[in-house]
Amino acid sequence: MAAATGVALTLAPVSFNRARADAAVTGATTTGDGQETRVVTGRLETGAADFVYIPVRIPAGVQRIAVEYSYDRPTVPAGTPGNSCDVGIFDERGIKLDGKGFRGWSGGFRTSFEISNGEATPGYLPGPIKPGTWHVVLGPYQVAPQGMNYTVQITLTYGPSGPAFTPDHPPKRAKGRGRAWYRGDGHLHTVHSDGRRTPAEVAAGARAAGLDFMVSTDHNTSSSHGVWGQYAGEDLLIITGEEITTRNGHWLALGLPAGEWIDWRYRSRDDVFGRFARKVRGAGGLVVPAHPYCPYVACQWKFGYDDADLVEVWNGPWTYDDESAVDTWDGMLGEAVRKGRRWIPAMGNSDAHSDPQVIGLPHNVVYADDLTTDAVVGGLRAGRSWIAESRTVQLAFTAGGNGRRADIGGTLTARADAPIDVRLDVQGVPGGTVRFVTDEGQMHQESLPSSGSGSVVWRTTTSLAAYVRAEVRHPMADGSPGKGNTMGPNLMWGPMAALTNPIFLRRSGS
Ligand SMILES: [Zn+2]
Ligand SMILES: [Zn+2]
């Protein structure tokens, strides 16, 4: 049977037969309360397919499907991946890539789930249980050298279906302040994927962090979209999205229409990512490669940036993989200038899943026409944003000269030799180090006082700099400001406190 793209394996179908209730069928049990159970056992070896599909023939009259699964975890030597297996389900509409059949995914976070017309385990979509061939999908993303023995138990409950689930989508507008800077975290998880926070707790955390907006990005499912309405408000815009978790990196689809789901079943070499990127962009959303250098299995970004609208260069508390992401992004700015093509703005998000991960560490401060989904998405797409470690950090970054001024994400055009003053006003980073970085690298460094507030001005020209961007770093662990333009065995900088998108400096016709 043809399955989704990439390597997939489809097993023999599992059948139920309520009428016969044939206890002689291996693994079949029937109880008196209208339930029927089948147990499937199997074994996967190292080199197993990315996705293993178990067809399940659902008869008429089923009101609930319940699935439990487990697998063994043999001891492996340090450095060798142990067994790890995800799970999800597709309904009678099939398993075709980008098809209609998706009904839920819980990755490796849960060992069981249930679906009925009126409700479902978080991560799964409530709705009709129609007869036909459904598929439980296993995603054995790590298989130990000893192999993986698994058991999947499927229980059907018969009876009339209950009332339908009514989705409560969040409004696409909150009470803003007109054209202004708005703070928001674009990467957040809940119990609808592998977070331990409920949607109510995430919304409360966003408010506590002083955010104006947040984006819901559970892994590989749209199931949370239907619950956010009650947690949004005049003071908090909740934008729907998804984190698409492939075997070759994760990406964020931000500003997806509520209820829209994006498939994740492909690798970089399958060459279908562009199709999904276009789908997201066509629906008004943003395509954002996430934590591109995260060292976890399957987390490193291998799809390139041709189809990216932004790149998440700062994910959670500052770590060395973020330094790599900023370097890659900075390299792409110079390339965009040379080729005269679209540049890719940076964003930063918390990717917070559970306590003690901090919602809003970091977040984006976006200049938007209003506090609406479209305006926030537009501001991010245009790079009119900077990244803050917390709401304590405030800054303004401008370039002025020739009687003109440009802000973050903008372009200042001037004669080749006309003086341009680049100015950063910052608050909230005691003893911080301000860096101005251009296509030549770091061109200016200055320390902030212990109050954390200060203004830094540096003069350049359009002949010397094609763009300029600012970083504000915390001091190094030893209290020093950082090593400037030097080289050595240690990290050169303390953790990031703020990072701006660039201002471009363009030479006027000479
Ligand atoms: Zn991720
Ligand atoms: Zn994430």
Q: Tell how far the Cα of 46 is from the centroid of ligand 1, in angstroms.
A: 24
Q: Tell how far the Cα of 70 is from the centroid of ligand 2, in angstroms.
A: 24
What per-residue confidence (pLDDT) applies to 492? Answer: 86
Tokens 């970054």 — which residue? 397
Q: Tell how far the Cα of 196 is from the centroid of ligand 2, in angstroms.
A: 13
Q: Which residues surround ligand 1, an ion (CB under 5 A)?
A: 250
Q: What are the angstrom distances between the C-alpha of 23 and each of 17, 30, 478? A: 10, 7, 71
Q: Tell how far the Cα of 499 is from the centroid of ligand 1, in angstroms.
A: 21
Q: What does the radius of gyration of the chain's CA atoms come to, in whole angstroms?
A: 26
Q: Tell how far the Cα of 137 is from the centroid of ligand 2, in angstroms.
A: 21
What per-residue confidence (pLDDT) applies to 473? Answer: 98
What per-residue confidence (pLDDT) applies to 5? Answer: 53
Nearest listed ligand to the Cα of residue 297 = 1
Calculate ∠ Cα 107-111-116, nearest 5°: 90
Q: Contact, 357 vs 316, CB < 8 A?
A: yes
Task: Say which residues have a Cβ less than 8 Å from residue 74's Cβ, sequence separation at least 6.
Answer: 82, 83, 144, 146
What per-residue confidence (pLDDT) applies to 126? Answer: 98
Q: Tell how far the Cα of 243 is from the centroid of ligand 1, in angstroms.
A: 7
What per-residue confidence (pLDDT) applies to 486? Answer: 85
Phi, psi of 272 (to 5 degrees): -120, -5
Q: Tell how far the Cα of 243 is from the centroid of ligand 2, in angstroms.
A: 6
Q: Tell how far the Cα of 220 is from the centroid of ligand 1, in angstroms.
A: 10
Q: Tell how far the Cα of 312 is from the centroid of ligand 1, in angstroms.
A: 11
Nearest listed ligand to the Cα of residue 290 = 1
Q: Contact, 27 vs 38, CB < 8 A?
A: yes
Q: Tell how far the Cα of 351 is from the centroid of ligand 1, in angstroms.
A: 7
Q: Tell how far the Cα of 352 is from the centroid of ligand 2, in angstroms.
A: 7
Q: What pTM did the predictor assign?
A: 0.94
Distance between CA atoms of 272 and 290, rounded to whole angstroms? Answer: 18
Q: Tell how far the Cα of 215 is from the centroid of ligand 2, in angstroms.
A: 11
Q: Tell how far the Cα of 355 is from the centroid of ligand 2, in angstroms.
A: 14
Q: Tell how far the Cα of 385 is from the centroid of ligand 2, in angstroms.
A: 21
What per-residue confidence (pLDDT) applies to 33? Answer: 63
Nearest listed ligand to the Cα of residue 299 = 1
What per-residue confidence (pLDDT) applies to 6? Answer: 62
Q: Tell how far the Cα of 187 is from the centroid of ligand 2, in angstroms.
A: 6
Buried b (16+ CB within 10 A) or exposed e, 373-392: bebbbbbbbbbbbbbbbbee
Q: Tell how far the Cα of 171 is from the centroid of ligand 2, in angstroms.
A: 23
What per-residue confidence (pLDDT) applies to 469? Answer: 98
Q: Tell how far the Cα of 245 is from the centroid of ligand 2, in angstroms.
A: 9
Joined together, the tokens standing for residue 211 give: 């955010």
What per-residue confidence (pLDDT) applies to 24? Answer: 39
What per-residue confidence (pLDDT) applies to 17? Answer: 76
What per-residue confidence (pLDDT) applies to 31? Answer: 52
Burial bucket for residue 459 (CB in 10 Å: 0-12, 13-18, 19+): exposed
**Which residue positions in the chain have pLDDT lower than 70?**
1-6, 19-33, 510
Q: Tell how far the Cα of 296 is from the centroid of ligand 1, in angstroms.
A: 9
